[in-house]
Structure 1
Amino acid sequence: MDTCAPASDRPLFVLGCPRSGTTLLQLMLHAHPRIALPPETRFVLPAYESRLRFGDLGAPENRAALARWITGRKETRFDELGLDAGPVAARIADGPPTLGSALGIALRSYAESHGKVRWGDKRPAYALHVEEILRLFPDAQFVHLVRDGRDCVASLLGMPWWHRGFHEAVATWAQVMDVTRHHARALGPGRWHELRFEDLVAAPEEPLRAVCAFLGEEFDPGMTEPHRLAGTAVPARKTWHRRTHGAVDSSRAGSYRQRLTPAQIALCDTVLGRRLIRHGYEPGGTGRPGAAELLRYRKVEALRRAARAKRRVLDRAARVRETGPLADRSRAARRTTAP
């Protein structure tokens, strides 16, 4: 039996490999009259990773310190939400004594500032941290946007903030596909929805209707015109999202053919082949990469797997030291006190 809250009251999280189009999907969902998704924040995962430092949130002074940590630091990007930090901090300090509640109050405050009743968040990194999100928001729904891995790699290599090189970009897409495949199976169609970037930009209405059906919401035609919100919902400093300011188009689908070298495409086709096919993309048949290139990639891939395994071990160790539950209680409290 599904014990989750009604769909209209459940938080939603958009995720995917970096440069897969999650900002475009965020804007499309934010254009819905009932849904608000903020610009990409930096307080959900960092708060979870730092949870032990906040102590027992049953103590009012600890909740107040957590509230200041969320709302008063540049690193969290709370200032980009356009909210008055004081009232939000006060709500967190007066709210239920769990980390999920504090984070939920911050995200809900953004939704309320836009007159919306449904809230959530978007960040590509959530793809590798679904377990953590579920500890904070046990009834969350996830929308996973998939893009051709070769296009993601090509786009990452052109980003001013990407300094990890080609092999790391390829390994990132591979890892995201593997981890999200596991979560899709474990959570099932009522909690996990997947769509392709190429379908979204080619004919937005049909995939957006499917997303709305998954969320239990009515489709709104305004969702197909996300550029109308880009000026206010995408921070100006993010110049790499400039294409969101124009009408949706599919011109970048398959652009890796011009942006990657034949040797790079060959490596992608070889190491990503099964994953590409699984998501409906055809490998190019450009030949095999050199042995040295393949070995270099395998080393990067192994390091990523090891780093993820280490994070999971450290997280399990931290759980033993937690002083109380983490799950969001703010929505339950609000329903209980509502007239």
Structure 2
Amino acid sequence: MPATSAVPPATRLDPKTDQYGSYVSQDAGIVIGCCSRSGSSLFRVMLDSHPKFAVGQGSRIFVETPDPQRLVNNFGVTREYVDELLATSQDQAHFIERFMRGLAQREDKPIWGDKAPPNIYYIPYIFEHFPNARFIHIIRDGRDVVCSLRTHPKFKYENGRTIELNTWKPIENCITSWVNYTRKGLAARGQAGYYEVHYEELVQQPEQTMRKVVEFLGEEWDDRVLRYHELESTTRDFTAMPVSADAVEPISHKALARWQRDMTDEDKQIFKDKAGDLLIELGYATDNDW
């Protein structure tokens, strides 16, 4: 059966209609979301290095109708396998459960995880259909996020070679993205399965930060989490996502406070006007005098 007809329109993820199907999974999966360029790729590789967690490259199956070819490209599964799961799943949540379980079993790990920035917009859906899930929100200084978003992506991978791009986005759009994504995540504060990780703490205090994460997930600590850059895995092939290739390199502090180098006085004022209050709320500034 063609994959395009396997999932009825009524079960597709649509934030306007909220029609996702009725299946409820008891899996305690890990779902990661954030504003893009917040460090989620580094975080997911570190978490994936733990012997209990299988956290591969983003599937986007929580945020859109499953794209069979994307899943084939990113996860090394066959098109026939994806089509069969689509054709025999009750709805989107049932497909997610079965697909993610399969990936974890392939890695011989008991707990699956998914990382995609837009997951942040589907926290209500995730907790409704995966009540035992743990959602991890990665938060980063919005000024640094905006500087990174502005030039993202810097290159693409095509026909076996890296092609540089000259991306330059309006700063207003980048600021709006950071505010909207971050606010969506903060709205889930207080829910038992919700947890926040600040990028700055992750790179400056990696062991302390990741020990708390592993404890939150209910597992024992394993030093392989810190040796993530020494390990090999089928989940580390970044040829399909070269913009995140540095996530398999040792931790660097070079991206911290990059706004001090990259932002003009005009940029700073625009940010203060549009997002200064959120920056203060998150503890990255005490006032707008920066």
TM value normalised by structure 2: 0.79
- Which residue pairs with 2:16 in the alignment? none
Residues 107 and 119, structure 1, Cα contact 8 Å, conserved in 2 = yes
The match for 1:98 is 91
Are 1:27 and 2:32 counterparts?
A: no
Which runs of 5 or more structure 2 residues have no equivalent in the other structure?
Answer: 1-23, 155-166
Alignment partners' CA distance in 2, 1:173 and 1:260? 16
| Structure 1 residues 242 and 98: CA distance shift in structure 2, 3 A | closer
Q: Which of 255, 280, 289 is the matching residue for 1:285? A: 289
Aligned sequence identity (%): 25
Post-superposition offset of 1:132: 2.5
Residue aligning to 1:263: 266
Quick check: 1:18–1:156 contact (8 Å CA) kept in 2? Answer: yes
CA distance in 1, matches of 2:74, 2:179: 31
Q: Specify the alignment match of 1:177 in structure 2.
A: 182
State yes or no: 1:84 paired with 2:46. no
State the AA in 2 paired with 1:86: E
- What amino acid is the match of 1:271? K
Equivalent residues in 2 for 1:66-85 (5 A)? 70=66, 73-74=68-69, 76-85=70-79
Q: 2:106 aligns with which of 90, 106, 113?
A: 113
| Distance in 2 (alpha carbons) for counterparts of 1:128 and 1:43 | 13
Name the counterpart of 2:230: 228
Unpaired segments ≥5 residues, structure 1: 48-69, 287-339
Q: 2:56 — aligned with what? A: 38
| Count of aligned residue pairs for this structure pair | 253
Q: Deviation at 1:93? A: 4.5
Instruction: Report matched runs for 1:140-219 at 5 Å.
Output: 140-160=133-153, 165-185=170-190, 187=191, 190-219=192-221
Rounded to whole Å, the distance in 2 between the matches of 1:163 and 1:135 is: 38
**Aligned mates of 1:19, 1:84 — CA distance in 2:** 30
- The structural deviation recorded for 1:130 is 1.3
Q: Whole-Å Cα distance in 2 between the matches of residues 24 and 262 of structure 1? A: 30
SS of the counterpart of 2:31? strand
Identify if the C-alpha distance between structure 1 residues 258 and 13 changes in structure 2 by more than 3 Å, giving closer, same or farther: same
Amino acid at match of 1:184: R
TM-score by length of 1: 0.68
Alpha-carbon distance in structure 2 between the residues aligned to 1:106 and 1:19:
26
Q: Cα deviation per residue 1:190-249 (whole Å; 9 max; x = unaligned)?
A: 311111100100120111111111111112111113323577424214232232232012
**How much is the aligned-residue C-alpha RMSD, in angstroms?**
2.5
Q: What secondary structure, in the 3-state scheme, does the structure 1 residue paired with 2:114 have?
A: strand
TM superposition shift of 1:164: 5.1
Contact kept, 8 Å, 1:27 with 1:230, in 2: the verdict is: no
The structure with more helix, counted as a fraction of residues = 1
SS in 1 for 2:57: coil
- Once structures 1 and 2 are overlaid, which stretch shifts more, 220-229 or 21-30? 220-229
Task: State the 1:44 CA deviation.
Answer: 2.8
Instruction: Summarize the alignment of residues 305-324 of structure 1 with structure 2, pairs less than 5 Å apart.
Output: none
Are the counterparts in 2 of residues 13 and 143 from structure 1 also a CA contact under 8 Å? yes
Displacement after TM superposition at 1:37 (Å) = 0.9
Note the C-alpha offset of 1:128. Answer: 1.8
One-letter code aligned to 2:275: L
Task: Deviation per CA, 1:104-134: give whole Å up to 9, x if none.
Answer: 1111111111111100211011112212323
* Separation of aligned partners in 2, 1:144 and 1:219: 20
- Structure with bigger strand share is 2
Paired with 2:102 and 2:248, the residues of 1 have a C-alpha distance of 25
Query: Counterpart amino acid of 2:32?
Result: V
Distance 1:79 1:238 in 2: 10
- What SS class does the counterpart of residue 189 from structure 2 fall into? helix
Relative to structure 1, the CA distance from residue 237 to residue 101 in structure 2 (aligned partners, 3 Å threshold; closer, same or farther) is closer
After superposing on structure 2, the runs of 4+ consecutive aligned residues of structure 1 that deviate more than 6 Å are none
For 1:250, which of 249, 253, 259 is the aligned residue?
253
Query: What is the CA–CA distance in structure 1 between the aligned matches of 2:209 and 2:193, rounded to whole Å?
Result: 17
Structure showing greater radius of gyration is 1
Question: Quick one: structure 1 residues 212 and 5, their matched pair in 2 at CA, closer, same or farther if it must change by over 3 Å?
Answer: farther
The residue number in structure 2 matching 1:124 is: 117
Paired residue secondary structure (1:44): coil
Question: Partner amino acid for 1:172?
Answer: S
Offset at residue 182 of structure 1 (A): 1.4
Residue 45 of structure 1 aligns to a residue whose secondary structure is coil
Provide closer, same or farther for how the CA distance between residues 240 and 91 of structure 1 changes in structure 2, counting only shifts above 3 A. closer
